[in-house]
Amino acid sequence: MPIFFQKIQTKLQHSLKNPHFKYGLPFLSFVFIGWYILQNTQACRFDLSNQGSLTRKELQAHGFNVPDSIAPIEEVYEEMKDVAKKDWENIRLICSVQKYHWGSKGNESLVGKFAEANSNLKINSDESYAEFWMGTHPSGPSYLKNNNLELSAYLSSNPEALGTEVISKFGKNLPFLFKILSVDKPLSIQAHPTKSLAEKLFIQNPDLYKDSNHKPEIAIAVSKFEALCGFRPKVEIQKFLKEIDEFHLLIEKDKLFEFLNTPNDDNFKECFKSLMSNQDNVVAKATESLIQRLEKLNDKEIYLYSLVRRIHSSFPNDVGIFCVYWLNYLVLSPGEALYLAPNEPHAYLKGNCIECMSNSDNVVRAGLTPKFRDVQTLCKMLTYKNYLPQEILFSPLVEDDYTLLYSPPIDDFAVAKVTLPENCQYTLKTRQSASILLPL
């Protein structure tokens, strides 16, 4: 799978005609302090080269699948010849793979398929392929294919590729990190710090918190995608706390009584902190009681029984199981998105998504994880805002007939999705920043 770093576009725009892609998935993407997605339904890959026009035979010689039945592909690149010499350059990247335990295994993993296509990595059916990283973060850097130079080193020597606006705000590095995620098991109950908190955590514990940057992020579903995100409305949480007896084992009685009778932001926060701070043996007793009791109910799904059992199978007797009654449970369809601002609790549960985020790997965890749990920091940092499910979904703006723009309220990145019908010619918009291009 060819993946490219695209230098800043300045004067000219670029036309693509008849692009068709390898997978049955609906995207071609660029990152311009974010990323673009271009959709088509047929099967072919193409390379946008800084060497000018490429013929069909040259593309095939480079290993790209260009069926002879497609309209003359030479025409696509001929009009890019002068552009390539003057105003843009596409640099093919080899990207990093993270094999976290929660990732989908082998060929079931979209990440695994991308890794195999991008770098000829041999997929092991027993290994998990969780995240595909495109960017300059030191925990998973991308490299230039032609010389194995790190992208960060290239940008340090060629800062003009980023554009003056990016350099003035973020220096000589990409301000974003672009990922594909294949989630088979729940991720941790987590949140990402603000810039000021990230700087503090990095100084205090650099082995745990890897950088000093914040990590707002957007997740766009590629398949059916399940997540817990943002606190439910207080009235919903109250209902669960009243009807689920096990919360009386997990939350201090005086704090639970106050929240159930006179709810406010302070006692809401104290109740959640009390829940998350429990000893393992107390949580185990409460979890076993909950599952045994729900199994006997005819209307067990009003208490999310199937979800509880599924999470319990991955993380038995974990306090994070009880977070399903505190956080909104969302099921996204392909193309739907979540914007996760700093200090908002969330946990991805299942499915494939594309993520774009600030260039950071800072995560504060408190449940559903074998990693270190920083419960005190997480409970202190959260906003404790309550949301309806529809308030969490992030809607894109319509840029033109083919382009949807996901533009969160930050400077670090924006995301555009370009969907092209068959036999359509489209002119890419000029962006005042660098991009990463990903055909799906």
- The residue ranges of every structural domain in the chain are 3-92+413-439, 97-134+177-229+333-385, 233-325
Question: Is 436:178 a contact under the CB 8 Å cutoff?
Answer: yes
- In this predicted structure, which of 26-40, 69-83, 380-394, 415-429 has the lowest mean pLDDT? 69-83
- Where residue 9 falls among pLDDT bands split at 50, 70, 90? low
Q: What pLDDT sits at residue 32?
A: 43
pLDDT over threshold 60, residue 58: no
- In this predicted structure, which of 66-70, 103-107, 423-427 has the lowest mean pLDDT? 66-70
- In this predicted structure, which of 18-22, 239-243, 389-393 has the lowest mean pLDDT? 18-22
Mean pLDDT of 384-400: 95
Mean pLDDT of 138-148: 94
Q: What are 150-171's pLDDT values in tens digits?
A: 999 999 999 999 988 899 999 9
Instruction: Return the CATH class of domain 233-325.
Output: mainly alpha
User: Which of 45, 92, 232, 365 is labelled catalytic?
Assistant: 365
Residue type, 364: V
> Rounded to whole angstroms, how far apart are CA atoms 187 and 17?
40
Residue 284, exposed/middle/buried by CB under 10 A (0-12, 13-18, 19+)?
middle
Q: What are 315-358's pLDDT values in tens digits?
A: 999 999 999 999 999 999 999 999 999 999 999 999 999 999 99
Is 92 noted as a catalytic residue in this protein? no
Residue range 97-134+177-229+333-385, CATH number: 2.60.120.10
| Phi, psi at 75, each rounded to 5° | -65, -30
178 contact partners, CB below 8 Å, separation of at least 6: 29, 31, 35, 133, 134, 135, 354, 355, 356, 436, 438
